[in-house]
Chain A
Amino acid sequence: MVGEVKKLISIQDLLKNVLKDNIISIEQNKGYLDVLVSTDKLVDSAKKLKDSGFDHVKSVTAVDYIGKKQFKITYHISSYLNEELSKYIIGLSTVINRDNPHVPSLSKIWVSAEFQEREVYEFFGIVFDDHPDLRLLLLTPVIAALKPLRKDYVVKEESDDIEADYIAYNTNKWW
């Protein structure tokens, strides 16, 4: 594998060679290479990338583009065992609709994504299909239902009146 990387002119060529038609676009961002694939090709792309040496997930991120009514989900992946690939970070991304968001889970391919997908699920309400253990991780059910990291969730500021806040909290009017 290392030899193969050296033969190729750049990491972009390697990705094009591995993913072929799956790629919609490749974008060079600061510090990582963003590879956009369609949602139905996500699992297939992940399998191919794992076979070519990208062995773990560093971060699973969702970004809420409320103007475009889209979520973009990015898996930042890299390699531990392949020293040549470990210098690069690839962002495997897909764009999904903001209404009733569903995306296939990659936890069975990369176990290291399991907890991070749970986190994205509770903060954005994005459901990862086929996830082995999709439960809440950090939040309580009441707060998770509000999907706090979505852009249309605005943090309410506390008033000066502590007692009024306390009553509102207890009667679930806080949120």
Chain B
Amino acid sequence: MEASSSGIPHLPGMEISELSKNTYEVYIGPAHPGSGHMRIIVEVDGDIMVRVDPDIGFVHRTMEKLAEGRDWIKNIPLFERMAILDACNITLPYVEAVEKLLGTEPPERARYLRTLLCEINRIASHLYGTGIFGVFLGHSTLYMWAFGDREVFVDLAEQMSGARLTHSYPVFGGVRRDIPDDFPEGARKATRYMRNRLNEYAKIFLNNPNIRSRLENVGVMSKNLATELGIVGPNLRASGVRYDVRLNDPYEAYGDLEFEIPVFEEGDSLARAWARIEEMRQSLNIIDKVVDWLEKHPRENFMHEKFWKTAPKLYKDVYTGQIEYAGKYRIKLMPLFASLKVPPGKAFARVEAGRGEMVYYVESDGKDVPYRVRVVSPSFRNVIAFKYLMPGHRLMDLPAIYGSFDYFPPEWDR
């Protein structure tokens, strides 16, 4: 490593390449409303993109380093900040990995409650992605609709967990609390409403001739290319690969539930948009089934016995319905969580988050903080597609391809 004239250390591989003739370099972002918190460096020949370099990292918050200095339980609210609208899905693999190290299995009711919030989050996340996609293409109506309808599911999550976005709902050994008594009724109303709305979405957006002409046969990703690039989530399934963690490696209650995985063969931007809509439909079915299950079964423990027995009396009384909560008390989690030491070991966990497969690698050396936490979020696995998929398209196709991938910069930048 040698220092350059400006005093900035010069790392190998940082050479600035010369541009060839007749091409321009266009910097899109990071302040451009269409780029999110990232920059896309595009080299154009006329208006054909010849080289695309996704330049990410503008909202990096050093989460992997921060996690090495915080208690195990305090990392849950930290990792939530990656994608606050998908909070349960984002933190669930971390909780699962630590549970694997602890050797505790959540009780059955907790598994169903986690599944329920995961699906509510998935719908909220897809609605967010669809809405942003709409406004990228200049379709502000869909943007307003999707964000308005997302509120329904954010409210459901608030009823379950007490927080609109950062729920911190799954904790080691179970979940923080059970659903209120009037929840099933509200959930059924929401799913009934949303099913009708999805048909409207198809009419106004996906079957709209203007939108179709922007999306059809744009950004076509073949099955082999998607596999090679390691794309995840609805984008992968829109290219004809039948892979979903809920199906291939069932976790929580997904092994007991029946649902379909929508797979599309086209692999273009339109198929990716359709994949999200069809996935929301399946998520609505799952919510209905889980709510039925929760209603039929008694409100037994929603936390592993090991943690539940150390709970303060107030916590137990409130959550078993002995006294009415009514916002009067400040309820704390079990003190055992604060002094939790995790046995040494290495664990790997994956779940299917809203945007795709979420992966955590957790290593413990027996202390009260993790030795190493590695996070790979779905958006990062998707960002490589811009580099390999966009060249050859016109510059005006950039928002269509970018939006169809539902890329969310804070999620990767961590």
Name A residues whose Cβ lies closer than 8 Å to a Cβ of B: 29-32, 34, 55-59, 61, 63-64, 74, 76, 80-81, 83, 86-87, 89, 91, 110-112, 114-116, 121-123, 127, 131, 133-139, 141-142, 144-145, 148-149, 155, 172
Contacts and interface: CB of A to CB of B under 8 A. Distances in A.
B185 to A, nearest CB: 38
Given A31-B350, A86-B249, A137-B57, 12 more contacts: A31-B349, A55-B227, A56-B227, A61-B374, A83-B242, A89-B348, A91-B348, A111-B228, A112-B384, A122-B11, A134-B12, A142-B9
Contacts of B359: 58-59, 76
B363 A63 contact: yes
Nearest to A113: B230
Contacts of B345: 29-30
Which A-B residue pairs are the 8 nearest by beta carbons? Answer: A112-B230, A138-B57, A134-B13, A31-B348, A56-B230, A30-B347, A30-B100, A145-B9
22 contacts: A30-B97, A30-B101, A30-B348, A31-B347, A34-B346, A55-B227, A56-B229, A58-B357, A59-B376, A80-B227, A80-B236, A86-B243, A87-B249, A91-B348, A111-B228, A114-B384, A116-B376, A138-B413, A145-B9, A145-B11, A148-B62, A155-B69
Chain B interface extent, by class: 35 or more
A145 B56 CA distance: 18
A65 B8 CA distance: 28
B395 interface: no
Contacts of B388: 111
Nearest to A74: B361
Given A112-B228, A155-B69, A32 B348 contact: yes
Contact of A59 (B227, B243, B361): B361
A127 B12 CA distance: 8
A148 B236 CA distance: 33
A81 to B, nearest CB: 6
Interface string B87-113: 000000000010011000000000000
Interface in B223-244: 223, 226-230, 236, 241-243
Contacts of B164: none
Q: Is the interface of B mostly helix, strand, loop or mixed?
A: mixed
B383 interface: yes
A110 to B, nearest CB: 7
A78 B1 CA distance: 35
Interface in B274-291: none
B60 interface: yes
A112 B381 contact: yes
Nearest to A127: B12
Contact of B56 (A133, A138, A144): A138
Given A29-B345, A59-B376, A145-B11, A81 B384 contact: no
B248 interface: yes
Contact of A61 (B57, B66, B236, B361): B361
Contacts of B381: 58, 112
Nearest to A122: B11
Contacts of B357: 58
B326 interface: no
Contacts of B230: 56-58, 110-112
